[in-house]
């Protein structure tokens, strides 16, 4: 019988060496430093949009798997799905990377990581989807990092996000009513905005504020779902976009474009594409029913007159804005007139309101506050200037919606409102 060659006799030894070598390489791979990681809602609850900065252009990707598949802290690569990204030049020295994760299940926890395609990976991050019928989110106004000092604004912003999530850890995403930063092309402002560690686990849906508008940086940082390249456009800037979450349609307008016609067409198309949603919520930056100095400006009054008939026509339930750095909740409004006769249940919730309720949110970072106007407008149900960062917690449970606002210095509730549909 012919003897086996030495090569074949050494194969088991070589195999062991190879396994040890590969294990060593994997254990000592460089950590991929993905910067300014930003999660945004996908088109629906089954999707998640991710964007991040890198210092070089590579075949970057996201890997995601069920958190339950993990063994200890090891990422479960053998059961993960990979989603490659687009990578384009961004601010000087950076590339903007964007990817969309699909086929997610409701009420499920995932682990994900970001890689450069060269075997280097970020830390493990975690994301949990909400329920399709019962979920909650935060609404915040004007972080405007850099309006004060970047350091103090960043500290205030981090404290708001941390306290909100500690109080309500099951919130599914954060809605920002605009002015993420004070200077539209300042990457140091954006670095402060993206500094909360929780942002790797909770999506943020931003509106384009007047301070964000006019530069490309906002678009570099956010990967927005269903974004229009026709309606609500400003350039450099953004367009209107929408997403759904469970039984709710969220529409985000770029009101730096003041054309009522363009926003009406966008809302018409979004509602037609999602005809069976229980709730319709609109967000934009400029407060058309506020209590600070902006609310008295002719441009804001003109915008109000352009938009409220649209919201009346399409049955918008609530509108969430910022811009005035003070808090206002209106009465139920229709035809620009307070609807003072409403039906309330035993818990104080408005039953089947006959119009739209408008919220103007105060600063969520404490970067700056505006005084209330001397005369309270006839549309105001509640207004306040607490001179402390605030956030709102919005909960949707089937046919009921609640909107509670908190000040972060004491975590006391400053306003509460709820709606029931029957």
> Is 8 part of any domain?
no
Domain harbouring 61, CATH code = 2.60.40.380
Q: Determine the Cα–Cα distance for residues 263 and 252; give it in Å rounded to an integer.
A: 10
Residues 6+ apart with CB under 8 A from 221: 36, 38, 51, 53, 96, 190, 194
Residues 59 and 88 in one domain: yes
Q: Determine the Cα–Cα distance for residues 290 and 178; give it in Å rounded to an integer.
A: 15
Residues 64 and 197 in one domain: no
DSSP run (H or E) holding 64: strand 61-66
Residues 79 and 47 in one domain: yes
Write down the pLDDT at residue 29. 58
> Is 339 part of any domain?
yes
Residues 121 and 141 in one domain: no
Residues 43 and 83 in one domain: yes
> Is 280 part of any domain?
yes
Q: Determine the Cα–Cα distance for residues 127 and 112; give it in Å rounded to an integer.
A: 8
Domain harbouring 323, CATH code = 3.60.21.10
Residues 96 and 228 in one domain: no
Q: Determine the Cα–Cα distance for residues 402 and 272; give it in Å rounded to an integer.
A: 26
> Is 19 part of any domain?
no
> Is 18 part of any domain?
no
Residues in the chain: 422
Q: Determine the Cα–Cα distance for residues 249 and 259; give it in Å rounded to an integer.
A: 22
Q: Which of 97, 67, 64 is nearest to 83 (CA)?
A: 64
Write down the pLDDT at residue 173. 98
Domain boundary among 94, 128, 162: 128
Write down the pLDDT at residue 317. 98
235: left (phi over 0), alpha (psi -120 to 50) or beta: beta
Residues 57 and 77 in one domain: yes
Residues 150 and 285 in one domain: yes
Residues 149 and 76 in one domain: no
Residues 254 and 356 in one domain: yes
Q: Which domain holds residue 188?
A: 134-420
Let me know: does 285 contact 210? Beta carbons within 8 Å.
Answer: yes
Domain boundary among 107, 128, 149: 128
> Is 26 part of any domain?
no
Regions in the chain scoring below 50 on pLDDT: 1-10, 14-28
Domain boundary among 79, 110, 128: 128
Write down the pLDDT at residue 9. 44
Residues 194 and 320 in one domain: yes
Residues 121 and 139 in one domain: no
Q: Which of 349, 356, 365 is nearest to 397 (CA)?
A: 349
User: Cα angle vertex 194, ends 189, 195, to 5°?
Assistant: 95
Q: Determine the Cα–Cα distance for residues 224 and 51; give it in Å rounded to an integer.
A: 10
Strands 337-338 and 248-252: unpaired
> Is 1 part of any domain?
no
Tell me the CA distances in angstroms from 111 to 72, 97, 129, 161, one per residue in order.
12, 19, 11, 21
Residues 6+ apart with CB under 8 A from 331: 338, 339, 340, 357, 379, 380, 381
Write down the pLDDT at residue 318. 98
Total structural domains within the chain: 2
> Is 350 part of any domain?
yes
Write down the pLDDT at residue 13. 53
Dump the DSSP string for 109-163. Answer: EEEEEEE-SSS-B---EEEE---SSEEEEEEEB---BTSS-HHHHHHHHHHHHHH
């Amino acid at each position: 019988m012919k003897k086996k060659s030495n090569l074949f006799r050494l194969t088991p030894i070589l195999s062991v060496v190879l396994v040890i070598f590969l294990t060593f390489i994997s254990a000592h791979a460089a950590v991929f430093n993905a910067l300014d990681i930003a999660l945004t809602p996908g088109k629906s609850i089954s999707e998640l949009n991710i964007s991040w900065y890198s210092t070089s252009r590579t075949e970057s990707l996201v890997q995601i798997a069920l958190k339950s598949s993990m063994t200890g802290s090891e990422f479960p690569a053998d059961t993960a799905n990979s989603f490659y990204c687009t990578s384009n030049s961004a601010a000087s020295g950076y590339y903007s990377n964007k990817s969309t994760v699909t086929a997610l299940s409701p009420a499920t926890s995932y682990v994900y990581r970001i890689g450069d395609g060269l075997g280097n990976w970020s830390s493990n991050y975690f994301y949990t989807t909400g329920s399709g019928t019962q979920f909650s989110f935060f609404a915040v106004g004007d972080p405007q990092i850099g309006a004060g000092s970047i350091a103090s604004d960043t500290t205030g912003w981090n404290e708001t996000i941390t306290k909100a999530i500690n109080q309500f850890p099951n919130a599914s995403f954060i809605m920002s009513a605009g002015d993420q930063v004070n200077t539209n092309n300042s990457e140091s402002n954006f670095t402060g905005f993206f500094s909360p560690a929780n942002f790797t686990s909770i999506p943020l849906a931003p509106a384009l504020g007047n301070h964000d508008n006019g530069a490309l940086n906002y678009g570099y940082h956010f990967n927005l779902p269903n974004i229009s390249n026709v309606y609500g456009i400003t350039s450099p800037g953004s367009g209107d976009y929408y997403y759904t979450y469970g039984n709710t349609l969220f529409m985000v307008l770029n009101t730096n474009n003041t054309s009522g016609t363009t926003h009406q067409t966008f809302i018409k198309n979004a509602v037609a594409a999602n005809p069976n949603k229980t709730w319709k919520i609109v967000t934009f930056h400029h407060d058309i029913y506020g209590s600070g100095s902006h609310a008295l400006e002719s441009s804001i009054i003109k915008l109000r007159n352009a938009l409220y008939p649209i919201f009346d026509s399409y049955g918008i339930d609530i509108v969430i804005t910022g811009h005035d750095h003070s808090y206002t909740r209106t009465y139920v409004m229709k035809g620009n007139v307070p609807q003072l006769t409403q039906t309330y249940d035993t818990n104080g919730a408005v039953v089947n309101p006959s119009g739209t309720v408008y919220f103007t949110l105060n600063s969520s970072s404490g970067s700056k506050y505006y005084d209330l106007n001397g005369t309270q407008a006839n549309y105001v149900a509640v207004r306040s200037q607490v001179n402390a960062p605030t956030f709102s917690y919005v909960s949707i449970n089937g046919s009921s919606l609640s909107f509670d606002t908190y000040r972060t210095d004491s975590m006391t509730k400053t306003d509460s409102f709820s709606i029931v549909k029957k």
